[in-house]
Each structure stands twice: as structure tokens, then as C-alpha cells.
Amino acid sequence: MTFWLNALYVFLVMLPLVFEGIITTYFVDGVLKYEVRHKRLVYLILALIGAGYGAAKALIGFGSEDDMIIINDIEAFAIMAVTIISLAVFIKAKWWKKIVVAFLAFDIIMAVNEIFSTLSDQIVFTFSWSSQVAIMAFFVLFNLLILLLEFAFLYVLKRLRDKSDNTPLPISVMLTIAVLLNVFISMFPDLLEDADNTDSKRVMTILGMIMILLFMALFFYIRVTKKERDDLKDLNHVNEELVASQAKFFETTAKSDNEIRAMRHDMRNNIQVLKLLLENGDYDKMREYLDEMGDNLVSADVSAHTGDTIADAIIADKTAKAEDCGVKLKCSGKITGVEISPVDMCKILANLLDNAIEAASVPELSEIGDPLRTIELQFRKTDNFFMISVTNPCAVAPEINDGKIQTSKKDRKNHGFGIHNIENAASGYGGELTVDCEEKPYGFLFRAEVVFPTSSIE
């Protein structure tokens, strides 16, 4: 009997330590949406560390009760450090964000664990037990059930976020959740001091813990529905711009077609005039006449022929907008072999060009001359990548770290609008936005490039 009692004790001590790291990893990757690379390896590492430590703790023991208090504090810190370090190594983010995300995730999971542990304790100790083995056996089984419920709770949160909020949860939101959970858990025992008896206190504790979990689920639900509303607003705005760009494009195309028809109609007359000028040897007037015909041909052309009708529509619209602002937009390259949805194409191209036009049209650049006051839009494709590149002059250099623009009030005026939309649209195809800024005699030359792996969008 002693053997089985010891075995149950070892299993009981190991159980939460084995699943602690696994649950935290699942929470980071599935609920918080911070990608954890090599998840299976992380699960295995944390499970083995938890199992080894739990077994050592159960089999060796730690001495007196006073020693246990010290050891428990050391244990808590050690488990936290190992879990945070193991997660931070594999989380895909900047180094400081890895540590913060791992720490806050661990803190939230510890609070959730405490809630479920409290529920377990309150329910288990409502029963009478005939032997220590029986209570330990039931306690093990019940803890397994509690762990399954905890996984189920996190799975529900994951499903809520998968629905329409599949982006990393902001650190400020994580911090809010962690603070609220810890404050409520620490204050809850004080709220139960006036309970009439042990049974009523136990019932209130169970209800309180359930309410915390429901409020946490409600918090995520509210955030998801808010994200849905924001996405719909953004989608409506993009669709409106897309429709407006298409309308402008079709209007420009119809105008160009009419001009070309008129030119074809007049071509016979133009040829007769040119023949007459040639026979008379009036080469200067002939040159002027040809130049005028060339200008008419340029004005009759559509702004771009990229091979993508949506891109052509957007470029036509933004070319007209640039001209109104005193800026020239030049486009080169083709969009071939890639498929980007009209909405995403609009998000990427419209925002890139709007930012470029706004930056290039500031009064500080009015003296640099037309050749320099030009926006260059390029489409380039290799065997492995497709790139959309936009370069433009700007008066003030934005703050750039690791190829990413750091928006502030001043920078947002020039390049901040739509950066988030560009990044989100590109990430859906495995692409990313990078920016750089080069100092020039007139100010700065800003470059934004969206690069896609062609395997993800062909």
C-alpha cells in the first residue's frame, strides 16, 4: 500500500509541472497568436523538465516545514525562469518582446491555474474520505479532469480568436488581463470573510472562480467582435477606394479610346500635312507637327499596363492624384505569375502610393524640380520572389529600426497611414514590408518594398 501511496504522490507532484509549460506554450501560440517555432520540441523540453523536477521533488523531499517555504519560493522562481527562457528562445518576435510575452503569458496561465486549482480543492474537500489513498487517487483523477477543462477553456479562447482576430494580442492588452486576474485573485479571499459558514464560503468561492473565467472569455469575445467591426470598416473603406479607382480607370480608358479614335480619324489628314511639309522642305514645322502628335499620343495613353487590371486602375487613380499635387508618378515592370486579391492589391498599392504622394508633395520639396520630385513604382519578379517597390523624395527622414518604420506624430504625417494595412495584407501571402531612407542633397529618398515569396502566391 505504501508503494502505491508513494507512486500516487509522485504522480500528483509531477502532473501540474509537466503540463504547466505545455499549457503556457499552447496559450502563447494558439490564444495570444505569437508564433512559437518548433512547438513539439518546446512541448517536449518543458514536459521533460517538469517531469524530472517533479519526480526529484517527490522522491527526495525537502526537509522541515520552514525549509519547504523557502524551497517553494525557489521552485516557483525556477519554474518561471525555465519556462520563460525556453519560450523566449522559440517565440518569433524581437528579443525584448519575446521576454515580455513569455513572462505575461506565464503570469496569466499561473492565475488561470490557481483558479482551476481552487475549484478542484473546493470540490474535492466537500466529500468525506475513508483513507488517504482514496483521497489521493480521487485527487489525481480530478486534477486530470481539471487539466482537461483548462485545455478546453484555452481551446475556446483560441477558437474565438481564430474566428476573425488572428493577429498577435497587443502587450498592453496582455498586461491588462494579467493585472486584473492577479488583483481579483488576491482580493477574493478578503471578500469571503463575511461568509456565514464553510459551506457557503465554498459555494461562493466556486461561483467566484467560474465568474472570473467567464469574464475572461467575455473579454476575448468583446475584443474579437471589435476586431470584426474594425475589419469591416477597413474593408468597406478599401472597397470604396477600389471602386473609385476602377471608376477612374474606366473613365480614363474610355477617354483614351475616344482620343485614339479621333487620332485615327485624323491620321489621313495628318499624313497629307506631313507630306506637304516634306515636299516644301519645311523641316522645322514638320518637327513641330510631329512633336505635337507625339504629345497627343502620350496624353491618350493609360498610366500603366502592368498586366493586372486592378493595379492599373489604382495606378491611374494615383497618377491623377499625384499630378494634382505637382508630383510625377512613374511605373515600370509587370505583374505576372502572381495572384493577389483585388482587396489586398488595393491595400498595398493604394497605401504605398498615398504615403509616397503625401511625402513628395510637401512644400519643403517644391524647389527641387520635376525630375527629382518623382515617385518610382516598380514591379519585379525573380524565380523565388515578387517585389513591389516605391521610392519617393521626402523632406524629413522617418525613424526606421530593423527595416521597419517607427511611426510617431511627425512621421505619421508622411508615412504612417496604412503601414499596418500594408503589413497585414502582405503577411497573408507570406510577404513583408521593409523600408529604408537615404540622405540626399535635397532631403531624403525613401524606399518601401513589399516582398513576397512567389511559392506562396502563385
Residue 415's pLDDT is 46
The DSSP code sequence of 280-304 is HT-HHHHHHHHHHHHHHHHHHS-S-
What share of residues in the chain are helix, strand, coil (percent, to 5)?
A: 70, 10, 20
Residue 132's pLDDT is 63
Q: What's the pTM value of the predicted model, to 2 decimals?
A: 0.58
| C-alpha cell at position 76 | 516557483
What residue spans in the chain does CATH classification 3.30.565.10 cover? 304-457
CA distance 355 to 329: 13
Residue 414's pLDDT is 45
Q: Report how far Cα 127 is from the mean position of its chain's Cα atoms.
A: 49
Residue 382's pLDDT is 83
Residue 416's pLDDT is 46
SS3 394: strand
Grid-cell match 470604396, residue found: 240
CA distance 256 to 262: 10
Residue 378's pLDDT is 93
Render each residue's pLDDT in the chain as its tens digit; 458 residues.
Answer: 455 555 555 565 566 667 778 888 888 988 888 888 888 888 888 888 777 766 666 565 544 444 444 445 566 677 778 788 888 888 887 788 889 999 999 889 888 888 887 777 777 666 665 666 666 666 667 777 778 888 888 998 888 888 777 778 888 888 988 898 888 888 776 655 555 556 677 777 778 888 888 888 888 888 777 776 776 676 666 666 666 665 565 556 556 555 556 666 667 677 777 777 777 777 788 788 777 776 665 544 555 678 887 788 788 888 888 888 889 999 999 887 778 887 788 888 888 998 899 899 888 887 777 778 899 999 998 888 899 999 999 988 887 766 667 655 454 444 444 787 788 888 888 888 888 888 888 888 999 999 988 765 55
Grid-cell match 490564444, residue found: 31
Residue 216's pLDDT is 86
Residue 449's pLDDT is 92
Residue 57's pLDDT is 64
Q: Report how far Cα 271 is from the mean position of its chain's Cα atoms.
A: 60
Closest C-alpha to 407, from 425, 422, 392, 393:
422
CA distance 326 to 367: 11
Fold of 304-457: Heat Shock Protein 90 (3.30.565)
Give ∠ CA 95-156-206 in degrees, rounded to 5: 105
Residue 62's pLDDT is 47
